[in-house]
Homo-oligomer: A and B are copies of this chain.
Amino acid sequence: MQIVKDEGPITGEQIAEKLNLTRATLRPDLAILTMAGFLDARPRVGYFYAGKSANQLLGEHVRKLMVKDYKSLPIVVKEETSAYDAICTMFLEDVGTLFVVKENKQLAGVVSRKDLLKTAMGKQDLQTIPVSIVMTRMPNIVTCSPDDSLLDAAAKLMRYQVDALPVVRPMEDGDGVEVIGRITKTTITKAFVELGQHTDV
Show the binding face of A for B, using Cβ within 8 Å.
Answer: 1, 28-29, 32-33, 36, 38, 53-63, 84, 87, 90-91, 94, 96, 113-114, 116-118, 120-121, 126, 149, 151, 154-155, 157-158, 161, 163, 184-186, 188-193, 195-201
Which chain B positions have C-beta within 8 A of A154? Answer: 189, 192-193, 196
Copies in the complex: 2
Whether B188 pairs with A189 at a CB distance below 8 angstroms is yes
Whether A157 pairs with B59 at a CB distance below 8 angstroms is no
Which chain B positions have C-beta within 8 A of A186? Answer: 158, 185
CB A136 to nearest CB in B, in angstroms, measures 16
Whether B196 pairs with A62 at a CB distance below 8 angstroms is yes
Whether B56 pairs with A199 at a CB distance below 8 angstroms is yes
Whether B198 pairs with A158 at a CB distance below 8 angstroms is no
With A and B bound together, what is the CA distance between A146 and B165 in angstroms? 31
With A and B bound together, what is the CA distance between A114 and B92 in angstroms? 12
Whether A198 pairs with B117 at a CB distance below 8 angstroms is no
Given A32-B32, A36-B1, A188-B185, also A58-B58 (CB < 8 A) = yes
CB A182 to nearest CB in B, in angstroms, measures 14
Whether A192 pairs with B120 at a CB distance below 8 angstroms is no
Residue in B closest to A120 when the chains form the complex, CB atoms:
B120
With A and B bound together, what is the CA distance between A126 and B195 in angstroms? 42
CB A112 to nearest CB in B, in angstroms, measures 9
Chain B CB within 10 Å, residue with most, of A120, A158, A196, A197: A196
Whether A193 pairs with B158 at a CB distance below 8 angstroms is yes
CB A1 to nearest CB in B, in angstroms, measures 5
